Structure 1
Amino acid sequence: MEHKKHIVHIDLDSFFVSVERKFNPALIGKPVLIGGSADRGVVASCSYEARKFGIHSAMPMKTAMKLCPHAIIIRGTHGRYGEASREVTQIIHDTVPLYQKTSVDEFYIDLTGMERYYDCYKFATDLRQKIIRETKLPISFGMSSGKTVSKMATNQAKPNGQLFVPHGKECEFLAPLPIRKIPMLGEKTCQKLYSYGIEKIGDLQKVNLKFLEAVFGKAGLFIYEKAHGIDHSEIVPHSDRKSISTENTFETDVSDQRVLENILTSMTEELAGKLRRENKVAGCLAIKVRYANFETHTIQEKIALTAAEHILLPGVKNLLKKAWNGRRPIRLIGVRLSNLATGSYQINLFEDNEERIRLYQAMDQINFKFGDKTICRAAGMEIGTRNFNPFMKG
């Protein structure tokens, strides 16, 4: 019999809102929306009080304000979130043997093997209390034998709760939940399943694999395994990362080249700064463009190992020219730096002068102290004033 895993999924509840409430307790208990301007922005995050009105993240602000006219809108402060995220990461880093940070407010922790010495659920409970005590942020966790069930358990435990699904009880826990609670199951897939009368995960558990493969092809097995709580995916620790990426989905499709270049600039700066902080350089650059019909193009090129924006940025803009005809509206855009290697910024004798190297060191010093978005190129700065929200939770 294979050794059962003990996986914890940790998620900070409406993270951006919780961080803002720490700085302004008057926001506690009120419907709060974080995101862009009331007329053109989207909701990046909203409080539970706002969710009661049917508001959710990525909804246009206009729509949200119709649903809840008395909601409080906050522009969001990027540095604060980065700082809070680092505090939480540090506590987890100092406490557990193996973890993976999957976004600014979400972690998977692998406690497998510790059950010989500890009660893993108690260990996770103590960790949660420690984070709440030291950061004053509400946090939920789910624990089970795999990543997917643990994530779904966290979602059931929210807000500010915890839930353990014992080994062998995965199907039982999943059965009463609606199928749309399965992470990564898209709206179209759900609609198709509804048309067969499958609404709850329990209904899905009764369907045989052959049927799912006939209807959904390769995705059939994925759906079958998720419905039965089977998840073989491993937890990949931070240090073994082979790439870093970031993407942004627009609420309305964008075909303005300047807006796209500004966003790519901002994303590239963020990733390059991250590389330099982690003492890494990248050997491959890629961008991803998705159109309204979900057609997606990824285009990449090898580059000399670097973590410097003045080399990465022209490369990114060049890839955009290759990937996009300049007319078709874009729904999502992303940047990925891969083939990562350890090493500091490579000094290029032909291109660099002392000033430029000192500039990078100074930029990193300041951004490290004050959080990410303190200094960036003018093009990156313009974004704040346009229809773009750098806090979109991917």
Structure 2
Amino acid sequence: MLLDLDAFFASVEQLDHPGWRGKPVIVGGRPEDRGVVSTASYEARAFGVRSAMAASVAASLCPQAIWTQGRHERYKEVSRQVMAILYDETPLIQQVSIDEAFADVSPTKTNREHPVLVAQRIQRRVEELGVTCSIGIGTSKAVAKIASETRKPRGLTAVYPGTEAAFLAPLPVKALSGIGAASERALASRGIRTLGELANASDSLLQRLLGKNGAVMKRRATGLGDSAIDEREPVKSISNELSFAEDLTERDDLEAAMATMAAKVGRRARAAGLKGVTLTLRLRFGDRTVRSVQRKLSEPADDDLSWKVPLGEMLDELWAEGLSVRLVGVGLSDFREPKPVQPTLFDGCEGETGARADQSRRELLAATDSVRKRFGDAAVRFGSEIRTLEGSHYHRPPAVGAGDEGRSTAPGA
């Protein structure tokens, strides 16, 4: 699957500036500074404005456009939220830019959900952030990439196994990643203008025209599989953060926020098959100062229900009554294989204790993970989480932010 955020920078600007919605917005250098267009909203694109276009040309095509030079930290923030949604679905993510990422959503023995249903859920959740995305699904990254571009914005195109060649054949060769202007001209000189013609060209001709990339381009043009999702480096940490429209000052509210973030981190860790021994709590206070503390767990864990006590102790280290908090973050790192544990003869003999309690808790977490994956985070919540979103002190919904700090697999995720 390839997720591509629609007119991303411009969409974020329209999200943050309600008065700009429905109007042509251009992000980039201004005409008087000889700048270029970075991103144009779809309203601006209707006038012919395109990315990488000289700002002076864009201004002549759309003189009524709203211009902004952009806020890259804000774009990274929204990108992290989108990538967190992807990581909720699969640990196999390859982010290729701030607004694009591949994800392997192939059905498995344990998860038989149709990829289209997964994509639809992702689109709904991304739209809840205030931006939209287009998604392409295929049996290779090349097909998924092209499919994502066929219907924009808010498009969803699935190319089913066995239909790749027919889908690709009529498309121009420039639709294939790796075919630039020079390659397009070289192919056109020999009458090769569509991917179908490229797929049927001889290997020797393509080698003369495209060099060593000839065989790769031909393979992609036929829709054959290419490299798998490249995770590059192993996961280093998993974290989620929640910022608030109004600062928190009550311990109950802070504990509810910690429980909500811990639940997200735990679910992502379980989905990735990871267990960590270092738990992190991060707070941003009302004066914008940031403090964090870490605590080593007794053994590698992905069970967020067992983190309540250590998180409470960590909160005591960072926060005192009366301090206002505007952001709460929970993280898990230092991933290791759990050590074998020898159960004792008396485990579980006196109520739900020991191994039996652990098993009951894991079954409960597995059940809630399944419900949340299918119906969204709000479908089921533990009592400790409810206060976070339903607290009476909120006058408007909190802004949710999610990150995966320290993960080098996907830049910005």
TM range (shorter): 0.5 to 0.7
RMSD: 2.5
- Confirm whether residue 29 of structure 1 aligns to residue 22 of structure 2: yes
| Contact 2:93–2:102 (CA under 8 A) maintained in structure 1 | yes
Residue number among 3, 12, 15 corresponding to 2:8 in the alignment: 15
- The residue that corresponds to 1:160 in the other structure is 154
Contact map agreement 1:99 1:238 (CA 8 A) in 2: no
Question: Which aligned pairs between 1:109-124 and structure 2 lie closer than 5 A?
Answer: 109-114=103-108, 117-124=112-119
CA distance, structure 2, for counterparts of residue 114 and residue 18 of structure 1: 35
Partners of 2:44 and 2:62 within 8 A in 1: yes
* Structure 1: runs of 5 or more not aligned: 1-7, 243-341, 344-368, 372-394
* TM-score (structure 2 length as normaliser): 0.54
1:99: how far off?
1.0
**Quick one: distance in 2 between partners of 1:240 and 1:189?**
36
CA distance in 2, matches of 1:162, 1:14: 16
- 1 CA distance for matches of 2:195 and 2:46? 24
**Residue 63 (str. 1) matches residue 49 (str. 2):** no
CA shift digits 1:223-268 (9 cap, x unpaired): 21121122421212264499xxxxxxxxxxxxxxxxxxxxxxxxxx
Which segments of structure 1 move beyond 6 Å, counting only runs of 4 or more?
none
State the shift of 1:113 in Å.
4.0
Q: Deviations over 1:252-285 (max 9, x none)?
A: xxxxxxxxxxxxxxxxxxxxxxxxxxxxxxxxxx
Looking at structure 2, the residues matched to 62 and 241 of structure 1 have their Cα atoms a distance apart, in angstroms, of 44
Task: State whether residues 101 and 238 of structure 1, in contact with CA within 8 Å, keep that contact through their aligned partners in structure 2.
Answer: no
Equivalent residue for 2:194?
A: 200
Write the letter of the residue equivalent to 2:114. Answer: D
Using the alignment, how far apart are the partners of 1:231 and 1:176 within structure 2?
Answer: 19
Q: Is the 8 A contact 1:140 1:160 kept in 2?
A: yes
**Amino acid in the other structure paired with 1:22:** L
**Residue 106 (structure 1) aligns with:** 100
Which moved further from structure 2: 32-41 or 198-207? 198-207
* CA distance in structure 1 between the aligned counterparts of 2:59 and 2:35, rounded to whole angstroms: 11
Conserved 8 A contact 2:105-2:118? no
Q: Which residue of 2 aligns with 1:145?
A: 139
Amino acid at match of 1:17: A
Structure 1 Cα separation of the partners of residues 225 and 44 of structure 2: 33
Residue 51 of structure 1 corresponds to which residue in structure 2? Answer: 45
CA contact (8 A) 1:38 1:61 kept: yes
TM-aligned CA distance change 1:73 to 1:100, over 3 Å: same
Aligned pairs for 1:266-345 (under 5 A) are none
One-letter amino acid of the structure 1 residue matched with residue 121 of structure 2: D
Q: CA shift at 1:52, angstroms?
A: 2.7
- 2:199 and 2:138 map into 1 onto residues whose CA distance is 18
Question: Separation in 1 of the partners of 2:108 and 2:64?
Answer: 48
Q: Do the aligned partners of 2:199 and 2:222 also contact (CA within 8 Å) in 1?
A: yes
Displacement of 1:81 in angstroms is: 0.6
CA distance in 2, matches of 1:176, 1:187: 19
